[in-house]
Each structure stands twice: as structure tokens, then as C-alpha cells.
Amino acid sequence: MPSAAERRATAVTDDAIQRVDTLIQVALRIARSAKNGRIVLARTADALDPGWIPRPWGDEIAAELELAREKAREPIEPKRVEQALRAAWGGKPTDELDELELEPVAITATAQVHRGVLHGEPVAVKVLRPGIAAGIRQDLVLLEGLLPPLRSAFPAIDARRLLDEVRERVLDELDLEAEATTQRRFHRGLRDHAFLTVPAPVTRLSHEGVMVSAWVDGVPIDHAADTDQAARRLLVFSLGSARSGVVHADLHPEDVLVEADGRVAIVDFGATRTVPPERVAASLAAVEAFAAEEGTAFAAAVAQLGWLSAAAAPTALGLARRALGELAGPGPVRLDSRAVVAARDRLFDEPDSVVELILTGVLPPEDLWPARGVAQLFGTIARVGATADWLELIRASLRDGWEAAAG
């Protein structure tokens, strides 16, 4: 018969899980009711393997995500594409481009891409879905409904500031002119890099709803001849960009192209976030302490970042190392869907530790998009499947930036 203490612990665990479940159900209801809610679900579907979602939510969420993905992949009518380009450029598309293929080469929930020719050179023409920006601005009001369940599920966070950060970042993602400016910054920073590249945007033709950039001849990372090498290089790009002051927050396999010479090209910069150097330094200190299993240094680093109190840090360190298993150790290890599911299952084998971190952990708003970027990075690698010494590569990328060696 369980003791009184064990019964109390079980009650706390069940209550925390119920609060997380309530948050998920409210979020799904909001997504269903919002005019453009399917876009959020579709983008989530593009970011993960449905098999990674833990039960009891897995089947329901997977069905919602797949339905949203199908609906969001409907192409924009050619007539509306031409109208968008006319509105952006003040004339016929052919007044600016030598050629424009009306059959899209890529379709996402928020935009689609066409191949064109400018001054004899191929270009990618990205067009925002007509009306989507105004619709999402209206839908963002519905986020207010998340405040009560978010505060209940994660009592230590500042829910209001977190949702304000979501609003600001989402609106940024709907401005293709701003995206072109960010992409130009990355292009310049990587112009002479040995194995990373970003296509140059054509700023003259970039507009809030239209963006033009140089064409990249390459295959998606999951079709690369050497996926291990490509994944290592992608990690250096993603985590190394923190040293440049801006991180990418929405990497997907189809946006990571591998050229014939093995260089990795990133072709979408809709979701980014600036990061101050002191947070990068503190994050590196946390990783270094994690790798060395130095509890005191780890506690100091996560406390400096504002993620956890020093008292909760030992729980986080132990849980992370046990859940990650060999992924947290030295030497090459394969990261794929099987490894993700195994880590997830080990995590949920320790519900008391998980609940402790849910109740006490904090995600500062300024870290929300960088955290999303890290999750997207490793989600992309896991969906592709690749082998590397991940922990050492993480340390090197945060320490050396884009100069880290990736082979």
C-alpha cells in the first residue's frame, strides 16, 4: 500500500499532467476556431514526426496536424500570384523579370515559391498568401484564451510576456521585406565560408508580400549524398549563428539544400531572433558544465539565464543526462526518430522530476524563439537521421561560431 507521501506525489503528478492536457486542448480549440489556425498546425506538422508526440495526446494531435498540413498545401491561384507581384512592383511581373514560371516549386502554409529569371540568372520568387497577414493579425487576439491554462500549467513563467513575444515574432514572419534584410545579413556573413552559403536577396524587388533571391541548385538535406556531413554543417550554421547575434528559429529539411560540392545552403529566413552575447556565453557555460557533469557550474549558468533556480538545477541536470542517454555522451552517436522516441520514453519514466521542472522552470520570453530554433534544428536532423559527436559539435559551434569544424 502506498504511503501518504507517495499518494501526495502521485496526486501532484496527475494534477500537473491534467493542467498540461488542459493547455493542449485549449490550444487546439483556438487553432480550430481561428480563421488561420490551420497555418499554425500545418507548420507544427512540418516540424516534427507525429510518432514523437507522447500519449495520451499523440493520436488526436497527429490527426489534427495531418489534416492541417493537407489543407495548407493548396497552391495560390496563378491569377492571384500575378496580382500580388503587380501590387508589389507597380507593373507587370515581366516588366521586372525575364521569365516567371507560374507553377510553384514549393508551397508552404504561408507562402509559395516560383522560379524566375532576372538578367539571365535564375531567381526564387517568394509570394506571401494574399490576405494572410491581415487574417493572422486578427487571429492573434485569440491568444488571450491561452493565458489561464498557460499560467496553470507552467506557474513560474510570465505568460503575458511570453504571448506578447509570440505576437511580435509571428508578425515579423509575415513581412518578406524584413526577411530579405535578415537574409542579406546572413548572406554577407557567410559570403566566403568554406561549407555554408545563403543566397543573396534582390532587395530592389523585395516587398512586404514578395521576396526575390538568387536561385540555389541543390537537393534537400534528406537527399544529400552524405547526410552525416550535411547535418554536422547544418548544426554549425544554426548554433554558430548565435555568435553573429541572430539565430534561425524555423529550420525545415526542404529549406536546407545541399549543393553538388557539399556546401549547405539555407533558403528561408522568415523566423529569426536577435540574441545578446551574454546569453550566448551563459548558454555555452551551461553546455560545458553539462558535458563535464559539474553540478555547481551548471546551476550557476542556468540561474544566470533565468531558466531554473540553483536548487532545481541538479534535478534538471540528472534528468537531462538520463533522458538523452548516449546522445549526451562523448563520441559519435546516431540521432534519428528512434533515438528521439527512446529519449522521450526515458523522460516520461521519471514523472516526478518532469513535474518539478514544469512547476519551477522558466522560459524567458527572449529565449522562446531561440529555443524553438534549437528544437527545429535537432528535429530536422532526427527526421533525416545522422551520426556525429553531437555534444562536442554543440560546444564548438557555441564557442567558435561559424568557424567551428564540421568536416
Within the chain, all domains assigned CATH 3.30.200 are found at 75-130+175-215
Q: Give, to the nearest 10 degrees, the angle between helix 337-348 and helix 351-360.
A: 90
Reported pTM:
0.91
Residue with cell 554549425: 236
Closest CA to 339 of 231, 230, 226, 223: 231
- Work out the mean pLDDT of the chain and round it to a whole number: 89
Q: What is the DSSP letter of 201?
A: B
Give one DSSP letter per residue of 76-104, joined into a string: PPHHHHHHHHHHHHTS-HHHH-SEE-SS-
Is the pLDDT score of 57 beyond 70? no
- The CA distance from 41 to 170, in Å, is 14
Residue 109 pLDDT grade (very low, low, confident, very high; cuts 50, 70, 90): confident
Which residues have a Cβ under 8 Å from the Cβ of 223 and sit 6 or more positions away? 258
pLDDT of 6:
42
Least confident of 36-45, 321-330, 391-400: 36-45
Residue 22, class by beta-carbon neighbours within 10 Å (0-12 exposed, 13-18 middle, 19+ buried)? middle
Which residues have a Cβ under 8 Å from the Cβ of 109 and sit 6 or more positions away? 38, 39, 42, 43, 46, 68, 72, 73
- The CA distance from 151 to 49, in Å, is 28
- The tens digit of pLDDT for each residue in 195-218 reads 999 999 999 999 999 999 999 999
Domain 75-130+175-215 has CATH 3.30.200: yes
Closest CA to 361 of 139, 115, 156: 156
What are phi and psi for residue 386, nearest 5 degrees? -155, 155
pLDDT of 266:
97
Is the pLDDT score of 2 beyond 60? no
Handedness of CA 35, 40, 46, 51 (dihedral sign): negative
Give one DSSP letter per residue of 227-295, joined into a string: HHHHHHHHHHHHHHGGGGTEEE----GGGEEE-TTS-EEE---SSEEE--HHHHHHHHHHHHHHHHT-H
Is the pLDDT score of 31 beyond 60? yes
Residue 4 pLDDT grade (very low, low, confident, very high; cuts 50, 70, 90): very low
Is the pLDDT score of 108 beyond 90? no
Strand stretches in 103-151, DSSP E: 106-107, 111-118, 121-128
Is the pLDDT score of 37 beyond 70? no
Which residues have a Cβ under 8 Å from the Cβ of 106 and sit 6 or more positions away? 112, 113, 254
- The tens digit of pLDDT for each residue in 224-247 reads 999 999 999 999 999 999 999 999
Is the pLDDT score of 12 beyond 90? no
Largest CA distance in the chain: 80
What would the mean pLDDT of 23-38 be, rounded to a whole number? 74
Residue 244, all three cell numbers: 553573429
Q: What is the DSSP letter of 156?
A: T
The SS3 assignment for 174 reads coil
Radius of gyration for the alpha carbons in the chain, expressed in angstroms and rounded? 22
Which residue blocks in 325-366 are alpha helix, DSSP H? 337-348, 351-360
Q: Give, to the nearest 10 degrees, the angle between helix 277-292 and helix 295-305.
A: 160
Q: Please state whether 262 falls in left (phi above 0), alpha (psi between -120 and 50) or beta.
A: left
Is the pLDDT score of 65 beyond 90? no
Q: Pick the residue with more confidence: 67 or 215?
A: 215
Least confident of 12-21, 81-90, 118-127: 12-21
Which residues have a Cβ under 8 Å from the Cβ of 43 and sit 6 or more positions away? 108, 109, 110, 250
- The CA distance from 297 to 339, in Å, is 28
According to DSSP, the β-strands at 264-266 and 196-197 are parallel
- The tens digit of pLDDT for each residue in 272-292 reads 999 999 999 999 999 999 999
